[in-house]
Each structure stands twice: as C-alpha cells, then as structure tokens.
Amino acid sequence: MSNQKKKVIAMTCMCVDIFDSMDQIRPGGEALNFIANCCGQEHIERYIIGAIGNDIYGDRILDSIKDKDINREYIHRVEGATANNVTYLTKEGDRYYKPDSWTGGVYQNFKLSDEDKELMKQAYLIHTGVTCPNFKEILEFKKKNPFMLSVDFDITRDFDSWKEYLPYIDFFFISGDDEVLSKISELSEEFHTVFVATLAEKGSIAFYRGHKYQTCAVPVAEVIDTTGCSDSYQAGFICEYLKHRNILASMIKGSETASKTLSFVGGF
C-alpha cells in the first residue's frame, strides 16, 4: 500500500442542528459529520467544500473544527444565513423533524468556484449526498475525472433515477428496508458499485457484484441521539476501505464508528 495520503473531500452540506427540547446547538450536516468522523486516520487528507453564512451559526461551525485536522480553505463564508435544522428527539433518542424544521440558507444556492473544481481534480474520493444541490454538477465532474465517488442516498426511494447515476458511483449508501435490499441486490449484478444499506439496530447489509455481506450493529448502553449516525457509519466504512479494500471489515468499522455517535448529542 502506498504511504501517500489520499485526499478525501466531503461536499457540501454544513449546518447546525438545533435541539429544541434540550436547547442545544450542534454543528452538523452530512458533509461536516462525515469529514469530522474521518479524523484520526493517518492515511487520509481531509477537505470539505461548501458554504456557511456570516452569522453566529457559521462561527459555531468553524469553532467546532478548529482543532481538527480538516482543511478549511474551501469553506466559503457567504452573506446570509447558515443552514439550520430544528431537531426533535423521542425519549428513545430517535431524531425526527417537523415540516418547518429545515432552513437551507446559503447552502441551497452554493456554486462551486474554479478553486473548488481544481481541488476536486486532485481528489482520491469525494463524498456527497444525492439531495445536495450540487449533486448533478459533481456527477458530471466525475465523468471527466478519475476520483472515486461515494454518495449517501439516505431515505430516497427514486429507484428509476438510480440507473442513470450508478455507472459513476463507487459507493452507494442508503437507509434500508426489504424493498431497498431487494433492489440493490438486483442492481449489484449489473453495476460495479459497492451497495451498502444500514438497518439501524439490525446492522448493515452490502452487495457487490452479486455477493452479499452482512454485519451486526455494535450494541450501546444507552442511545442518546441518532443524529449523524449514518454519516459516521459511512465515514468509518470509507476510511477502512481506503486502507484495506475489504468490504466486511469496512462494514464492521462503520458500525463501530456509528455506535460512538449514538452516545452523545450531535453528529460528532
């Protein structure tokens, strides 16, 4: 294995989670949670691209990673509001949202700069979400550049659109159910993509070229908050995979990383 560090870039959602019942604010968002959970991995060089507002929430985000080994040169401070999400927790620690929870702020209209695109050309892997406003642009960029692409499909179930994206996606993450498992099992026969479905307390299942992999969730004494659990699983999986290229070992690492996130409020 080469000793050269691999550039991993998370794009582009940075926000704050406002926990209504506990009056707490925690920096988060899929990209920020992911890259923060990649810290401590010596084989990875960490970057994040995206926009935050010139408000107190933006300050909180920058403050939360000031001591982390994450390159912050491509975090754009923009006039306006930082994206934020009012998050509610059940007594079991499961997060949920209300129709008016989300405020997109400057994240919704962020445009990639020429400097961002130059960095992307140097990436070993880019991680993003299918709901990211820049997803289609990232996908087009992938078609012309050799980096690996990891995409969080979360709870989307737009099965018809997946085949359009899959030739360009190396890692496909999704919150699973029986319908999803059946679909990704079928798709794994056709596409050279690692499909991973997380199943909460039931662990996770992956498919690659028709082969099935399965692992259990790591038990935790008490679930405090499920926010960012999927993001941390994906970070653990990717960091391990880039080190050893072993799907099952990567799933186990993902489960271990996710279990730690369950023990505190927020995604990292």
pLDDT, tens digit (0-9, with 9 covering 90-100), for 163-203: 999 999 999 999 999 999 999 999 999 999 999 999 999 99
Tell me, what's the pLDDT at 186? 97
Tell me, what's the pLDDT at 22? 61
Q: What is the residue range of 53's domain?
A: 6-261
Measured in degrees and rounded to the nearest 5, phi and psi for residue 156 equal: -65, 145
Note the pLDDT tens digit of each residue in 105-153: 999 999 999 999 999 999 999 999 999 999 999 999 999 999 999 999 9
For 32, the enclosing helix (H) or strand (E) is helix 30-36
Tell me, what's the pLDDT at 2? 53
Note the pLDDT tens digit of each residue in 81-103: 999 999 888 888 788 889 999 99
> Does the pLDDT value for residue 8 go beyond 50?
yes
* Residue 88 in domain: yes
CATH number for the domain spanning 116: value is 3.40.1190.20
CA distances in angstroms from 178 to 151, 162, 192, listed in the order given: 20, 17, 22
Tell me, what's the pLDDT at 1? 44
Q: What integer best gives the mean pLDDT of the chain?
A: 95
Q: Higher pLDDT residue, 209 or 263?
A: 209
- Determine the 3-state secondary structure of 180 from DSSP: helix
Note the pLDDT tens digit of each residue in 19-45: 876 668 999 999 999 999 999 999 999
* Residue 23 in domain: yes
Eight-state DSSP code of residue 218: P
Q: Which two tokens stand for residue 166?
A: 């899959």
The pLDDT > 70 percentage for the chain reads 98
> Does the pLDDT value for residue 48 go beyond 80?
yes
Separation of alpha carbons 102 and 79, rounded Å: 19
* Residue 249 in domain: yes
* Residue 98 in domain: yes
Tell me, what's the pLDDT at 21? 66
* Residue 171 in domain: yes
Separation of alpha carbons 157 and 174, rounded Å: 9
* Residue 165 in domain: yes
pTM, 2 dp: 0.95
* Residue 1 in domain: no
* Residue 130 in domain: yes
Q: Tally the domains of the chain.
A: 1
